[in-house]
Amino acid sequence: MHRRAGCTVILICLLTLLTGCWDRVEIQERGFVVGVAIDVSENEAEEEGTGEKEERAKGKERYVVTYQFVAPEGLQGDGGGNAESFFNLTTEGASMMETARLLATRTSRTPYFGHIKTLIISEDVAKRGRLADVVDFFLRDHEMRRGTKVMIAKGKAKDVFDFKPPIEKMPVMFIRSVAENIHRTGRIYPPVRIGDLHELLLRQTSYALPRITGKKEEVKVAGSAVIQGNTNRMVGWLGEEETIGLNCMRGEIEGGLEKVEVEDNLVMYEFRGKNTSIEADVSDIENIKFTITMESEGFIPESLKTVDWMSEKVVREVEKRIGKETVRIASKALNKLHKEFKVDAIGLGRHLYTHHPKVWDKIQHDWDIGKNYFAKSTIELKAKAIVRNSGVIIKSEPIQE
Amino acid sequence: MKAFHYGDEEISNKEILISVTTMIIGAGILTLPRGVAQSTRGLDGLMAIVAGGVIAMFFAWICAKLSSRFPRQTFMQYSIRLVTKPIAVVITALFGFYFLLFTAYEMRIVATISKVYLFDQTPVEVLGLIFLLVVVYSVSGSRAAILRINLMFAPIVLFIAIAVVLMNLGYFEAENLRPFFTTNWKGYFQATKETSFSFAGYEILLFYVALSNQPEKAPSAAIIGVSLPLALYVLIYVIVIGVFAPESTAQMIHPTIEVAKEVEVPGQFFERFESIFFTIWIMTLFNTAAMALDLSIMCLKFLWPKIKKIIFISVLSPVTYLVGMLPENQLAMFKLGNFISYAGIGFAVLIPTLLLIIAKVRGVKGHA
């Protein structure tokens, strides 16, 4: 009997443990952060609101960070309600964690970072070489995922989040979808995940990041920011066409358009896949010779010039012109990187590391910095295009003689 | 009668094989890619893993060979015959202490990692205690049951581990694997040392083969038992390097968890795949810790055969708990882990090899 009574007491005590768990946060009490925009602060370090000078440790920089939250109430229904489906909170601090914790004083919902989709960093942050500083928190925290996409904003990063997208309910979702349109245009630099950025930062090789331009009325993802790998300082922009060129050289283009002139009118060519091969002649490290061969295939979606697409001669001629055009676009980007910035965002250094590791060991500290072997190298561009088909018709009007 | 099929305290070689696998996988799988990537370039670390695995296979074979030489004799019994009673007592006591540390370490790892990734507010002490209580519960029962539950869990564990690998193929970049064969000898040596630690655990053969109903086949079971984790480590390493590149892998505390976190399958449930990964990984650690605690008790029971098992359990579990909670932070915890690994080399490599040599030289064998 005693034994049974003892057991009962223990079981009743154990029941109390079943009531809950330490870390319970109900889903409706969570504030899901979907995007973060980081700007540099212009203000002197001040305790928010009070105006008293801060006596605590000061960092090298102060940041204004905007967090975009989902407001699930606004997402319900078919857009009938007037409720906004997102809200932004902006805080200021010397580190990301500081701003994140300041959020707790401003929102009733516990911020949860596991669903951050995009991280937008303003050009000022990038130009001051603070990229590694600002992404550290997003890599280190266990809630974060390495799939967050990173972009550099022209102007203020915060402006991007104020934009009211016409179709999507949240600016961040809109941006994310736009940034993934790389199948349709080469003007967008392929999305860089924060995990990839971690790799790039650790390798100290130069790289590019997609550019986003935000205004109240319109947000545009096109072009790219070039970042020097050793200093992690942004050195400048590549425009939209130059970004196509960079994408071609990196062989990362998945779709996009090129227009070529045939006689007096235009013919459009759409890429469907690109393959780039790099060859390096490293016999003289003072003048390494690279040959970048860009092969593409695609079709003709629009032919303003009426030509006979059934004729092999015509097709060969167009292919040649497309090749020339590719080289022209790529060399524009190459000139900027090679002659003006002297920064290797193409990944030639990486090619040396993977294919000529012994040479790379000798020159890696002076690749696109210091002695700058990159600037001393010679780069030759070659292009080859294959027109797979001319669409579903041959001509839209008879050839005029 | 069928109902009594599992009523006996003996196991087949299948259980031996899987127990070795489980014991090896344990905690090492989470940190292995980091240790290897830190000292190698590209995919070169793979060679170190294979080398570590082959070394482990050899010594696992030695352990199995030694204990199958004395069918159905406990470690204490045959070591007395080989190296006089006082020395056997000392060795057994050391083994007991070693397995106790091992249990404590596994408990602490489970508690620490679950705190970091799953329970932000729950104290480590509580997490550790709960885990230890479950382990104590399983150890209180039959010994063969612990080994049989390994066999039950293993397919689930292997299945999820392979799922993690497959689901990451989309992020795999072959370019990350290059360049090949550029690591220097020091790097290979360092990485092999690191992997050898991750392969420790096959010393359980010295004790569990005594329960086997076919001890003469134990050595081949041991080799297969080591080759399973070897295959798994190779797969995981290739995928981790392909997804993260060696540079980032070297900077991640638990690359294998991070790789499980990478998986983002659209759809509500699998989007957070790491929760499933944690579940199965804690199952493995539960098995590992249960075996270690059980062995610790077995060793003490050799020394004081008259004391009841339950007394040992009630004395050992608080000690294990305290030892496990001793390291004050992650660094101290890894230090304890390293200490155990070095000790493990002694227990898994030196002692069995010496004993086997003595047995061969003196020609001691089987029933006498």
pLDDT tens figures, A215-232: 777 888 889 999 998 888
Does the pLDDT value for residue A181 go beyond 70? yes
Mean pLDDT of the region B8-32 = 85
* Cβ contact B262–A147 (<8 Å): yes
Q: What 3-state DSSP class applies to A382?
A: strand
Please tell me the predicted confidence (pLDDT) of residue A151.
92
From the list A23, A146, A202, the residue facing B122 with the nearest CB is A23
Residue of A nearest to B114 (CA): A142
Each residue of B198-256: pLDDT tens digit? 888 888 999 988 888 888 888 999 999 999 999 999 999 999 999 998 989 999 988 99
* Cβ contact A354–B117 (<8 Å): no
A-interface mutation test, from B112, B115, B248, B257, most A Cβ less than 10 A away: B248
The answer to whether A147 faces chain B, any CB pair under 8 Å, is yes
Residue-averaged pLDDT of chain A: 84
Contact residues on chain A for B248, CB-CB shorter than 8 A: 195, 198-199, 202
CA–CA separation, A247 and A187 (whole Å): 8
Q: Of the ranges A36-50, A110-124, B94-108, which one carries the lowest mean pLDDT score? A: A36-50
* Cβ contact A145–B116 (<8 Å): no
* Cβ contact B119–A202 (<8 Å): no
From the list A23, A203, A357, the residue facing B182 with the nearest CB is A357
Please tell me the predicted confidence (pLDDT) of residue B317.
92
The answer to whether A1 faces chain B, any CB pair under 8 Å, is no
Does the pLDDT value for residue A362 go beyond 60? yes
CA–CA separation, B156 and A44 (whole Å): 57
Each residue of B53-103: pLDDT tens digit? 999 999 999 999 998 888 888 888 888 888 888 999 999 999 999 999 999
The CA distance from B30 to the nearest CA of chain A, in Å, is 15
ipTM: 0.81
Mean pLDDT of the region A20-31 = 73
A-interface mutation test, from B177, B261, B274, B277, most A Cβ less than 10 A away: B261
Contact residues on chain B for A357, CB-CB shorter than 8 A: 41, 179, 182
Please tell me the predicted confidence (pLDDT) of residue B297.
93
The answer to whether A30 faces chain B, any CB pair under 8 Å, is no
* Cβ contact A145–B126 (<8 Å): no
Q: Of the ranges A328-332, B276-280, B347-351, which one carries the lowest mean pLDDT score? A: B276-280
Does the pLDDT value for residue A395 go beyond 80? yes
Please tell me the predicted confidence (pLDDT) of residue B271.
64
Whole-Å CA distances, B267 to A106, A171, A236, B17? 32, 22, 39, 37
Contact residues on chain B for A32, CB-CB shorter than 8 A: none
Each residue of B190-201: pLDDT tens digit? 899 888 888 888
* Cβ contact B179–A203 (<8 Å): no
Residue-averaged pLDDT of chain B: 87
From the list B117, B179, B264, the residue facing A354 with the nearest CB is B179
The answer to whether A21 faces chain B, any CB pair under 8 Å, is yes
Q: Which residues of B touch A (CB under 8 A)?
A: 41-42, 116-123, 126, 175, 178-179, 182, 244-245, 247-248, 251, 258, 261-262, 264, 272
Angle, helices B85-117/B274-303, rounded to nearest 10 degrees: 160
Each residue of B299-349: pLDDT tens digit? 999 888 898 889 999 999 999 999 999 888 888 988 998 898 888 888 888
The answer to whether A199 faces chain B, any CB pair under 8 Å, is yes
CA–CA separation, B220 and B57 (whole Å): 10
Each residue of B339-350: pLDDT tens digit? 988 888 888 889
Please tell me the predicted confidence (pLDDT) of residue A186.
83
Does the pLDDT value for residue A20 go beyond 70? no
Quickly count: other Cβ atoms within 10 Å of residue A123's Cβ: 20
**Token reading at B41:** 């370039």
Does the pLDDT value for residue B1 go beyond 50? no
Q: Are strands A110-112 and A192-193 parallel, antiparallel or unpaired?
A: unpaired
Does the pLDDT value for residue B265 go beyond 60? yes
Please tell me the predicted confidence (pLDDT) of residue A110.
81
* Cβ contact B262–A21 (<8 Å): no
- Report the b/e string of B52-78 with b at 16+ CB within 10 A: bbebbbebbbbbbbbbbbbbebbbbeb
* Cβ contact B245–A146 (<8 Å): no
Mean pLDDT of the region A207-217 = 86
From the list A142, A146, A199, the residue facing B247 with the nearest CB is A199
